[in-house]
Amino acid sequence: MTFSIEEKKILLDIARKSIESEITRTKHQYPDLSIYPNFSLKAGAFVTLTINHQLRGCIGFILSDQELYKTIHEAAIEAAFGDPRFPAITLNELKDINLEISVLSLPFPMKNYDEIELGKHGLILNEKGRRGLLLPQVPIEHNMNRDEYLDAICQKAGLPNNYWHDKQLNIDLFTAEVFSENELFS
């Protein structure tokens, strides 16, 4: 799935206004979205918030049965106010926040670790009742090689870093269309 620059800007605006509306307790009115067929897709999405390139919140949905714009609305609110790693975003911080949206493909089972392409594949680990997800941009942003990426997904799921050495883990791969305010509005 590919989005036009206009569609990306609208989705980023929806995410930002969703957060702003939650802070100011005002109702946000969406523009007419029916002319954008991509917005009716039922796809998973994550919204990542950063301030000065430092993570400030990241929440999303691997799968969604809602239209994409509604999934992004909910993910933005959860990233701003529901990420347990951070306090809720304040109105003063909002001007400094950079939003990034990742629209996910359907996950597919990984057959072996050699299939993982850094920067292309996100990882979803389901192992021993534990779950972890890393977006495809994570290894690039943190200059990880494949082994470090696998260590990171194990750590994210609460398993020992090198657990993937012991056995073939139950990992699903996915791709994502990723775009941010920094990229489109700089």
**Two tokens at 170?**
């139950």
Helices (H) and strands (E) in the chain, counts: 7, 8
d(CA 36, CA 38): 5
| pLDDT, tens digit, 9 for 90 and up, residues 121-166 | 999 999 989 999 999 999 999 999 999 999 999 999 999 989 999 8
List the strands of the sheet with 108-109, edge to edge.
Answer: 108-109, 171-174, 122-127, 130-134
d(CA 66, CA 44): 9
Domains along the chain with CATH numbers: 5-104 (3.30.700.20), 108-174 (3.30.1490.150)
According to the model, what pLDDT value does residue 27 have? 84
Nearest to 153 by CA among 137, 128, 133, 127: 133
Nearest to 55 by CA among 99, 120, 3, 113: 99
The share of the chain scoring above pLDDT 90, in percent, equals: 85
